[in-house]
Chain A
């Protein structure tokens, strides 16, 4: 083990967790203040803008909504986002800022991309620099990067209000939540990160693609664009859709170890800090700490396993006279699909963080990971994107598991299931089960359809078990709104664009609606005082059971398919 995780590797990982820990309290508290409607340092700038938005649209931000109104407003808002983005992509050829004269997208690709971005999935069926104009990237994708993350935040906050509310139907005002999330949280953070990225070498311009002659005399066309601004929100909003085809492996999206560190921190920054926001808003910070503890305890071992598997290298190459060892002059390991500046540790860290959060960006090609190294990102998605998860969506997904755990643990010890003073009854369990099971259903059915049809089989790039993994990965990624890929899969076909689009919609809204229903139901309940019969939900014991439930649900659902894909591929690799 020791030679597979070097001292430097370990220190890089420690530095990563340390930075996230430093931001946990300040950013968490700040977000809690924003959503409680308190004044913050940025209020003088954004309050006037916020007010004029409400005036312009005659919105009353104080007016509470019940869960049905909240859900309908949210769906209408997402629908508007879909229509606008779909039209922008379809008619890209007629719109400005299109120096490369790209034509409009095909209807199925425009559908897939629009769904992908409104659901915060950011699956890349499109090719970035070879498909999209600067206008589509900015007005279309960049906007949805913000807005879809803000929707996730709003749902989480509505659920928290449900937990806090006492015999009320009011879970907040969607217009106000989504506006505040955008203006006070996502916009300022993105601006800071974009500037830092720009200083470290990420490009930001509106120039034509650059034509040069290489030193050996060949022609090279270099893609340009406003990348830094989009890169920042792509990471912070757990979006992950790249400006370029190869996403953050591209040297213009992610040029240096510093830019890489900023970006990979940005992936988990908000999902991690939201646990503190949660603790503050439910008046019990230990509840937030318990959840973050469960997340870290699932994440850290998988991360280290991924690093060691990639560092161990490709067994097949050992038949040749190749040096895959790690030393002071080279990263070694399985370098296919990885960039020199990131090496093994930063590629494995990114792969784990991006799939733990529902980010889905990549800085190395997951399809070329070792079978067991590539199993880690797949498993992290299969846990339902609740280990950190998407902005907002990760934590509300996790709260469904918490409710399930409260119920199961309550049954085991014969105590009345209750959480934060709210009785957990059959309605809550139904909603939690829906939210937990719907994505798995779409993954497994989607994979089956793809494997049984010619159109599905046609997209497979690598043969054998790896080909199966490509399909499994695609549906896991879509239905859990992650967006990363085993990118060998040729997914830009009417079949995959449509089917994956449907999975993305289901994985988003069939969780959001039960979540809001749960919020509504909880808000209507009485608050029961803590008694001797209450199961505490901040103890190591509870954290342990919670982890157990998450792993049980994930592994039991997917063990057979994991055996058919990565495990067979691994056995195949080591047999030679």
Chain B
């Protein structure tokens, strides 16, 4: 019995030491190093206006519903793009709500589009995993060019140029997917960033 008590005491001692090293010193060292080498990333890759005010994060999507803006993925957070409580929809493929959500988005898209025949890119009618996806596929962005151009009274080529400027290709032409940063496109459309 005495032995077990000793072992338990040592266990708590070792656990406290590990807490100090692994739960205290290690995150602190990481923070210091990253503050030195990657300050902008460490605080959330924020986008600043020319006057220095914070417009958002290039990694966190914002909700867009006005026709003059590029729209992103559907978001399943309690209010769309709630970056304080991320969530996916968790809807199974057969769940009728998934179909309803897709139909509602299609209706919104069709309101501004005369060409009924064009197929809608799947990422425009499905919710992202995080509810905060900052990006959509180039195909989903191109689909929206006529609406944005019309709402702003500008030509389609200049909208496409802004989309292309805000597009990232696969890393090393290999990893991930090509994608368009929705917030950056909209900030550029509004002339708030270069």
Please report A residues at the B interface, Cβ cutoff 8 Å.
Answer: 8, 11-12, 15, 49, 53, 56-57, 59, 72-73, 76-77, 79-81, 83-84, 127-130, 138-140, 142-143, 146-147, 175, 178-179, 182-183, 187, 190-191, 194-195, 198-207, 209-210, 212, 214-216, 218, 220-224, 226, 228-230, 232-233, 244-246, 249-252, 255-258, 260-261, 313-317, 320-324, 327-343, 346-347, 362-365, 367-371, 461-464, 466, 469, 486-488, 569, 572-573
13 A-B residue pairs with CB within 8 Å: A84-B16, A140-B23, A147-B22, A199-B38, A200-B41, A215-B187, A221-B82, A251-B60, A329-B139, A340-B123, A462-B94, A466-B92, A569-B93
Within 8 A of A (CB), among B110-152: 116, 119-123, 125-140, 142
Question: Which residues 20-52 in B have Cβ within 8 Å of A in the complex?
Answer: 21-24, 26-27, 29-31, 33-35, 37-38, 41-46
Q: Is B10 an interface residue (CB 8 A)?
A: yes
Q: Which of B29, B89, B94 is within 8 Å of A337, CB to CB?
A: B89
Q: Which single member of A212, A222, A336 contacts B93 (CB below 8 Å)?
A: A336
Q: A191-B30, A226-B31, A245-B85 are in contact. Are A84 and B91 (CB under 8 A)?
A: no
B176 and A139 within 8 A (CB): no
Contact assessment for A340 and B179 in the assembled complex, using a CB-CB cutoff below 8 Å: yes
Chain A hits for B84, CB < 8 A? 129-130, 209, 221-223
Contacts known (A198-B38, A488-B91); A216 close to B62, Cβ less than 8 A: yes
Does B14 touch A at the CB level, under 8 Å? yes
How many residues of B are in contact with the other chain, CB < 8 A?
103
Assess the A80–B92 pair: CB atoms within 8 A.
no
Cβ–Cβ contact B63 & A214, under 8 A: yes
Q: Is the CB of A80 within 8 A of B15?
A: yes
Measured in the bound complex, the distance between the Cα atoms of B123 and A346 in whole Å is 15
Going nearest first, the 7 A-B pairs with the smallest beta carbon separation are A257-B176, A249-B129, A488-B90, A466-B92, A143-B23, A329-B139, A365-B88
Query: Are the CB atoms of B63 and A216 closer together than 8 Å?
Result: yes
- Which of A143, A207, A364 sits near B19, CB closer than 8 Å? A143
Q: B64: which A residues are within 8 A, CB to CB?
A: 215-216
Tell whether, in the assembled complex, residue A215 and residue B56 are in contact, meaning their CB atoms are under 8 Å apart: yes
B14/A179 in contact, CB under 8 A = yes
Q: Is the CB of A329 within 8 A of B43?
A: no
Pair A138/B27 contact, Cβ less than 8 Å: yes
Residues of B within 8 A of A364 (CB): 88, 129
| In the assembled complex, B95 has its CB within 8 A of some CB on chain A | yes
- B120 and A339 contacting across the interface, CB-CB below 8 Å: no
Q: Is B83 an interface residue (CB 8 A)?
A: yes
Bound-complex Cα distance A573 to B98 (A): 13
Residues of B within 8 A of A329 (CB): 137-139, 142, 178
Nearest residue, chain A, Cβ from B56: A212
Contact of B44 among A226, A252, A332, A337 (CB under 8 A): A252
**B86, A245: Cβ atoms under 8 Å?**
yes
Contacts A220-B81, A346-B176; A76 near B11 (Cβ below 8 A): yes
Task: Give the CA-CA distance A131 to B151 in the complex, in Å.
Answer: 42
Cβ contact within 8 Å between B170 and A199: no
Contacts of A11 in B (CB 8 A): 174
Q: Which residue of B lies closest to A222 (CB)?
A: B83
B162: interface (CB < 8 Å): no
Q: B74-112 toward A: CB 8 Å interface, digit per residue (1/0)?
A: 000000011111111111111100110011001000000
